[in-house]
Amino acid sequence: MQHRFAFIKPLFRNLALVSLLTSTVLYAADKRDVIIDADPGADDMVALLMALASPEELNIRAITTVSGKVRLEKTSRNARLAREWAGRESVPIYAGAPRPMLRAPVYAENVHGEEGFAGTPVHEPRQGLAHGSAVDYLITTLRAAPPHSITIAMLGPQTNLALALVQAPEITQGIKEVVVMGGAHFNGGNVTPVAEYNVFADPQAADVVLNSGVKLVYIPLDVTQKILTNDARLKQVADLGNRASRVVTGILGEYSKGDMERFGLPGGPVHDASVIAYLLKPELFSGKQIHMSIETHEGPTFGETIADWYGVLKKDKNVLWIEEGDAQGVWDLLTECLGRLS
Ligand code: RIB
Ligand code: CA
């Protein structure tokens, strides 16, 4: 009797092996290679901590910094601070463009403070910058990358990527997609009545990226102005009781005041964190593939993202425009990520 079912044991052993291998391969396949380009910045700091706390899901190849709300030396110092606070000092940071492609720089120390953020003490981080410029790093890395393998998380003005694309247009081959915090349509602008800061700070750069043909996801003010701080959310982060939670609640406590006063919001946005949340859990968001163009001529609509939501122009649908997000889901995810840090 026994010999008739002798085949079962090795069969189950092999099945277990196959399922282990499959899950490992699938798990590894889920891990996303990412370059984060940022202008830290209060909400950039939160986004960087969130991303650096997620090594199982995000293989952060590098952080590249750009001049934005504060000057390049400050945005670069702040990226190094976030890296140190996250305990991820092996991640290289490359400094990039010290100014926009064409237009004059538009700083926002009035919103983000002289240091780029307020609400927590700053110091000179231990680990320095990587040698070489962010633009050269992007060109070298994207040129050599397997086809469409690297995601770019774009948290500030798009100057670095635009300069790299102008110099080496073939680097699109290495880009999986560019997920941009930027733009505004239904919400209106946060710098002018129609323009959002990241696009307004370098409209020509955003236009170069838009016309490069890369796969683009825009996470605009339409959704980030709906994912706001409130007492319960700040408390759920504070209750973590670690350094990361103290840094984030300190930074957001200060950062929120400006937008709440200026726009009469019930809470403060954490714009850039939504890009990282999208990379980790895209199911928290929804949007539509639409045609979008950018106003690059100086004037009252300079830097406007013209989102053809109803397709009236019948032009190519060149961006995935995110319009809705699960605010509590994003905050729960942010809290989960920060809880992994010291
Ligand atoms: O408009 C919001 C964007 O501008 C965010 O990325 C914020 O960090 C600032 O750079
Ligand atoms: Ca930013």
Partners of 34 in the β-ladder: 60, 151
User: pLDDT class for 24, splitting at 50, 70, 90?
Assistant: very low
Mutation test of ligand 1: which of 271, 274, 275 has the most ligand atoms closer than 8 Å to its C-beta?
Answer: 271
Q: How far apart are CA 246 and CA 269, in angstroms?
A: 18
Residue 44: band (very low, low, confident or very high) from pLDDT cuts 50, 70, 90: very high
The mean pLDDT value of the chain amounts to 93
- 27 in a domain, yes or no? no
Residue 7's pLDDT band (cuts 50, 70, 90): low
Strand partners, 60: 34
Cα atoms found within 13 Å of the Cα of residue 278, Cβ hemisphere only: 33
State yes or no: pLDDT of 74 exceeds 60: yes
State the catalytic residues. Answer: 271
In a domain, 245, yes or no: yes
In tens, the pLDDT along 234-285 reads 999 999 999 999 999 999 999 999 889 999 999 999 999 999 999 999 999 9
- Ligand 1: residues with CB < 6 A are 39, 41, 43-44, 68-69, 155-156, 181, 190, 196-198, 271-272
Measured in Å, residue 57 CA sits from the centre of ligand 2 at 22
**Ligand 1 atom closest to Cα of residue 68:** 10
Instruction: Provide the pLDDT confidence category of residue 26 given band limits of 50, 70 and 90.
Output: very low
Query: Predicted confidence band at 110 (pLDDT cuts at 50, 70, 90)?
Result: confident
Q: Which amino acid belongs to residue 30? A: D
Q: What is the pLDDT of residue 219?
A: 98
pLDDT higher than 60, residue 23: no
**DSSP, residue by residue, 55-115:** TTTEEEEEEEE--SSS-HHHHHHHHHHHHHHTT-TTS-EEE--SS-SSSPP---HHHH-TT
Sign of the CA dihedral running 99, 215, 135, 38: positive
Taking the C-alpha atoms of residue 206 and residue 90, their distance in angstroms, rounded to an integer, is 30
Assigned domain for 232 exists: yes
In a domain, 21, yes or no: no
Q: Does residue 166 have a pLDDT over 70?
A: yes
pLDDT in tens, 145-160: 999 999 999 999 999 9
Looking at the chain, the whole-number percentage of residues with pLDDT higher than 90 is 88
**d(CA 12, ligand 2 centre) in Å:** 52
Ion ligand 2 neighbours (CB, 5 A) are 39, 41, 44, 155-156, 272
Count of domains forming the chain: 1
Categorize the per-residue pLDDT at 21 as very low, low, confident or very high, splitting at 50, 70 and 90.
Answer: low
**326-342 pLDDT, tens digit each:** 999 999 999 999 999 99
Structural domain containing residue 36: 32-338
Out of 43, 65, 154, give the residue to mutate to test ligand 1, the one with the largest number of ligand atoms within 8 Å of its CB. 43
In-domain check, residue 17: no
User: What is each CA distance from 15 to 4, 6, 23, 222, 318, in whole angstroms?
Assistant: 19, 15, 12, 48, 44
Phi, then psi, of 273 in degrees rounded to 5: -60, -25
The atom of ligand 1 lying closest to the CA of 69 is 10
Give the pLDDT of residue 91: 98
Residue 26 resides in a domain: no
Q: Where are the alpha helices (DSSP H) in the chain?
A: 8-30, 42-52, 72-85, 109-112, 134-144, 159-167, 197-201, 203-210, 221-224, 231-238, 243-263, 273-280, 327-338
Domain harbouring 129, CATH code: 3.90.245.10
Which of 161, 142, 141 lies closest to 205 in space, CA to CA?
161
Indicate whether 6 belongs to any domain. no
Q: 176-194: per-residue pLDDT in tens?
A: 999 999 999 999 999 999 9
Does some domain include residue 216?
A: yes
- Whole-number Å distance, alpha carbon 321 to ligand 2 midpoint, is 18
